[in-house]
Structure 1
Amino acid sequence: MKFEYVLLGLLTRRPYSGYDLRKWLETEGQFLWARAHHSQIYRKLGQMEADGWVRHEVDLREGRPDAKVYRLTPLGHDVLLDWVRSPYEPPSRFQEIDFIARLSVTGPLDREAAIRLVDTELAHRREQIAANRGRDRTLHYEDPVPGLDQELDLEIHNALHRLGADAVDRWVAWLERTRSSLTEGKPLR
């Protein structure tokens, strides 16, 4: 996923300065995009402005530096909606930032696109579970290095498998609840 869609999604809510975008991403948005550096934000805002997706106004601030405050343009809104409605390809790992950020932007703009997004993620994770849950997890050793504790290796291997299986099951349950809330128009939980 491209970072500009996260920024466009934030600008659907209200105008932001680059500083305010960074501050939001470091606090409330910390699960939407990892480690957004201020130079990355300003570079993207500059490119999006050159592309006509955003425009800025200078906010004159007494006693401190003036700020460029960015707003979404109609073209930027159209670009964002095109992305919201575009096909989603689930990554191999679940709970990736691509899905989380995409849902956070898609849901408020197009409920039907959000339902399709959740359906795609849900189907992919169910297929992964079906293909992998019952597979043979036997560890095979051939001339292991001296000191390798095979019994402990197997315990750790199985414990990590259970951790992953429990986590993906919770993810699927959350997706099912989210889908139900979206289709029934009920609050998300």
Structure 2
Amino acid sequence: MKFENVLLGLLARRPYSGYDLRKWLETEGQFVWAKAHHSQIYRKLAQMESDGWVRHEVDSREGRPDAKVYRLTERGHDVLLEWVRSPYEPTSRLQETDFTARLSMAAPLDRDVAIELVRTELAYRRAQIAKNRHRDRSLHYEDPVPGFDQEIDRYVHDSLHLLGAGAMDHWVAWLERTLLRLTHGTDRSD
């Protein structure tokens, strides 16, 4: 996922100043994108404006510096839709930002794409569970280094497996509820 996709997605919701984009990225955005320096945001906005994806208007502010407020253009909307509709390939890591960011943009822009995205992720996670849930997780030791605590190693190994299995089950349940909501307009657990 590219930084401009995040910015285009935000601008699809409403116009933002560079300062407001930075504030969002420092709070909600920290779960979508690594911390972005303000110079990176402004450079990317300038590039996106040069490419015709966004345009700005100057917002005069009494007693404060004027602000450039950026809006998505029709071309920017098209670029955002191209990304949202591009093929999605799940990775072995749970809750990748490419999936969550893509879903957050696809759901309000193209429900059919969002449904397919969730179905793809759900099928991949169910296959992961089927393949890995009951695999042999035995640990074998042969001449471990001095001081290596096999008992604590087994505990941590098993504990992390249970944590991961619980996280996967929770993720799959959420995907199922989300798919139900997208396809039927309601979540029975609401």
Tell whether 2:101 aligns with 1:107. no
* Partner residue, 1:72: 72
Shift of 1:111: 0.5
In the superposition, the TM-score normalised over structure 2's length comes to 0.94
Contact 1:33–1:101 at 8 Å: present in 2 too? no
* Partner residue, 2:57: 57
For 1:180 and 1:67, the matched residues in 2 are separated by 42
* Partner residue, 1:154: 154
Shift of 1:29: 3.3
Shift of 1:75: 0.4
Unaligned runs of 5+ in 1: none
Q: What secondary structure sits across from 2:30 in the alignment?
A: coil
CA deviation string 1:124-179 (max 9, x = no partner): 11111111111111111121011111111111100100000010110000000000
* Partner residue, 1:2: 2
For 2:118 and 2:185, the matched residues in 1 are separated by 15
For 1:133 and 1:19, the matched residues in 2 are separated by 46
Shift of 1:43: 1.7
Shift of 1:34: 2.9
For 2:37 and 2:107, the matched residues in 1 are separated by 26
For 2:82 and 2:102, the matched residues in 1 are separated by 12
For 2:49 and 2:104, the matched residues in 1 are separated by 23
Q: What secondary structure sits across from 1:12 in the alignment?
A: helix
CA deviation string 1:81-137 (max 9, x = no partner): 111111111122011211111111111101110001101111111111111111111
For 1:63 and 1:8, the matched residues in 2 are separated by 30
For 2:145 and 2:176, the matched residues in 1 are separated by 45
Q: What secondary structure sits across from 2:13 in the alignment?
A: coil
Q: 1:77 is matched by which residue type in structure 2?
A: H
For 2:55 and 2:25, the matched residues in 1 are separated by 20
For 2:8 and 2:74, the matched residues in 1 are separated by 11
CA deviation string 1:26-61 (max 9, x = no partner): 223332223122122112111111111001111122
Any runs of at least 4 consecutive aligned residues in structure 1 with deviations exceeding 3 A, and if so which? Answer: none
Unaligned runs of 5+ in 2: none
For 1:74 and 1:52, the matched residues in 2 are separated by 9
For 1:14 and 1:93, the matched residues in 2 are separated by 31
RMSD: 1.5
Number of aligned residue pairs? 189
